[in-house]
Structure 1
Amino acid sequence: MSDMKDTRRQQLSEWTHTELLRLGIPHDNFESLEVVSGDASFRRYFRASLDQITLIAVDAPPENEDSESFVAVANLFREAGVLTPKTIASDFDKGFMLIEDFGDRLYLPALLKEQQKDQQSNSIENSDLLYGQAISSLLKFQKNIDCGRLDPYSRKKLHEEMALFENWFCEEFLQLQLTDADREMIANTFCFLEESAVSQTQLAVHRDYHSRNLLILEREDSAEEAGPGIIDFQDAVCGPYTYDLVSLLRDCYICWPSKRLEKWCDDYYREASDKGLINDISRAQFSRDFDLMGLQRQLKVMGIFARLHIRDHKPQYLADIPLVIQYFLEVASHYDEMAVFKSWFEQTVMPVAETKLN
């Protein structure tokens, strides 16, 4: 596997050189590709340092990743007025792309730094400013993207995502032996959460809208009010209006006090109502929609993080599961429909999870 990756990296470097020549982009200083990051997919990202600019070279193996969809969705978001990287060159058959470089200033480090400060900062890294920009960008693409151009976030897909919790987290990771009664109770809970999701107003959904996929931009052509750079957008769908908001505010990688979260929820609700996105939805119904959507996502994430550890050999994601569980149990406690599942989770899942995750 390592040899194959090294071969693809060399091929990507050669392809990048050829494309730079074809495009007439000065690159006398270009020598090799510098590793930037990978993500939870099979894609890998490298920085190409050129004479005057930097670009990101993307290795997206075609047997695993759909680069054509990546470019199409990026264009769809950019047409909606939000900032996604422009594609400079692409070869879909090879699974290679050259895209605009948004830099390395992810939201997450800035927000963690903000949490550690004793006093509020007036800088660009102020959390209220960053979340305000993220919410504004969310509202912008929710309003401007025609949902008909995206695949639907179907009930089947919602169920498949939650099944990752049952299959990968409970059975593969925790090695639980689920009874028929357990499976029936789990299925009933999934059905309840699916019903809530599909009954919500359906808008454009990024599907992974959080602090590791939003960047603070430092470009002259992007004023602060323009919003964050948005990445990892290629799985966008037409789905529940609260999905991206709960992904952003109940982030798997950073947790905020409930008062701050409520303030940001209020901001979204007010602006979404003003823009006519959520007509006739009360504040109480919005809170319920937000909470139940979060429960669906948290079950999915527990399964995905376990799968990343077991199948993809990425154990670092295990460290983020306790916060996801914390969110889940805290919110589930407010809903009678979740009482049986929550009790089972605390009695059956938690003792094993605490041992495996500590």
Structure 2
Amino acid sequence: MIKSDFKHWIGESLGTTHFQITALKGDASFRTYYRIQAADKTYIAMLAPPEKEKTDEFVAIARYWESQGLCVPQILAWQQQAGFVLLSDFGDVLLLDTLNEQTVDMSYSLAMQSLLPLQMARPTDYRLPSFGATHVRQELSLFDEWFLGTLLNVVPTENEQQLLENTYHQLIQVVTEQPQVVIHRDYHSRNIMVLPNHHLGIIDFQDAMIGPITYDLVSLLKDCYIAWPLTRVHHWAHDFYNMLHKQKRIKDVSAEQFIEWFDCVGLQRHLKVLGIFSRLKFRDNKASYLHDIPRIMDYVLAITEQYSFLTEFDSWLKQSVLPILMPTLTKYTLSSQSQVA
């Protein structure tokens, strides 16, 4: 049921009561989206419950990024207290829907080119929070609480908890030692739209922060919804390193160091996502995200197997987590399917 005050506000914003409204597929947040057809134009209306979601950040970032030439939806109207936002319509074509062996090189090249100005686009009227050590540790606690504790019912021993803390400490060091830039924080193929002119539009950026220079790159290239061979991923990451180097955005950083930063930031992100996708199942009743967990675990193991300082953590994952992961996912997936049936 669409709220009557929301529909009334849309009509006032458009200056007409003659429009059609169609609900769109939601995402992992509490926001809901609608396509508005009025005469020969379409718009997107977003409803973000104020008690659950803030629109201030989204609007401030959108307006500033648009002023800097980034391709983001235009804010056409905003009712702050109610959480109503009217946006220009970027269509329905996600980058994810277009990715294949023939298109991926060009698509990722365009997406990486868009990252260059984004990393410099720090809003002047909104202070982006820092993706610092405290925040990184809070994100990693999602892995502890929701993935290990709630999904798998794993309670680490004292020695195992110390192993986790040591691993987290090393990852935090890697995150914080990198050059700090503007980061979207969820720059992947479901948050990048392919526009009719073949330009790429950026959405879902309200959680932007100041963080490590490799963060958005790893979100894009080690996407939670599609995977490519690691050698190919590293080739693309080298391309972005060369873009940065050409613009003199990184100094005294070798390509090898950059790739290690990239891999370790990816590990931190994917441990967090394992927690978030588990939370989506148990807190928000969105079980479909469990289907993506095996892909994310593959990302994790590809890195823990590669770096010697992660050897002990890798062994622990394979001994204490992997044997129970797939049976647990199968159980909950079958349970969710039976509930739908």
> TM-score when scaled to structure 2?
0.93
State the shift of 1:7 in Å: 5.4
Q: How does 1:330-345 map to 2 (within 5 A)?
A: 330-345=302-317
Question: Could you tell me which of 52, 55, 79 is aligned with 1:91?
Answer: 79
Aligned in 2, Cα 1:190/1:128: closer, same or farther, shift over 3 Å? same
2:317 is equivalent to residue 350 of structure 1: no
Q: How much is the aligned-residue C-alpha RMSD, in angstroms?
A: 1.6
Amino acid paired to 1:310: F
* CA deviation after TM superposition for structure 1 residue 144, in Å: 4.0
Residue among 15, 18, 21 paired with 2:12? 18
Structure 2 counterpart of 1:177, from 155, 158, 161 = 155
Seq. identity, % = 40
- Asked whether the 8 Å contact 1:81–1:141 carries over to 2, the reply is no
Q: Is the 8 A contact 1:217 1:229 kept in 2?
A: yes
Judge conservation of contact 2:64–2:123 (CA < 8 Å) in 1.
no
Distance apart, 1:179 and its partner CA? 1.6
Say whether 1:320 aligns with 2:292. yes
Deviation at 1:80, TM superposition (A): 2.9
Contact 1:80 / 1:145 at 8 angstroms: preserved in 2?
no
Between the aligned partners of 1:149 and 1:228, the Cα distance in structure 2 is 26
Unaligned runs of 5+ in 2: 331-341
Match of 2:232 in 1: 260
Contact 2:185 2:215 in 1 (8 A): yes
2:72–2:201 contact (8 Å) kept in structure 1: yes
Q: What is the identity, as a one-letter code, of the residue corresponding to 1:190?
A: Y
Q: Among residues 40, 46, 49, which one is paired with 1:52 in the alignment?
A: 40
Counterparts of 2:14 and 2:123, CA distance in 1 = 34
| SS of aligned partner of 2:120 | helix
1:129 corresponding residue in structure 2: 106
Q: Does 1:210 align with 2:188?
A: yes
CA gap 1:250/1:180 in 2 versus in 1, 3 angstroms: same
Q: How far off its partner does 1:27 sit?
A: 6.0
Aligned residue for 1:3? none
The CA deviation at 1:180 is 1.7
1:199 aligns with 2:199: no
- Cα distance in 2 for residues equivalent to 1:258 and 1:187: 27
Alignment correspondent of 1:77: 65
Deviation at 1:278, TM superposition (A): 1.2
TM superposition shift of 1:146: 6.2
- Structure 1: tracts of 5 or more residues without a match: 1-5, 121-125
Per the TM alignment, residue 37 of structure 1 is displaced from its structure 2 partner at its CA by 2.2
Take 1:190 and 1:153, find their aligned partners in 2: how far apart are those partners?
Answer: 15
Runs of at least 4 residues off by over 6 Å: none
Deviation digits for residues 168-196 of structure 1, max 9, x if unmatched? 00001111122222211111111110111
TM-score computed with the length of structure 1 as normaliser: 0.88
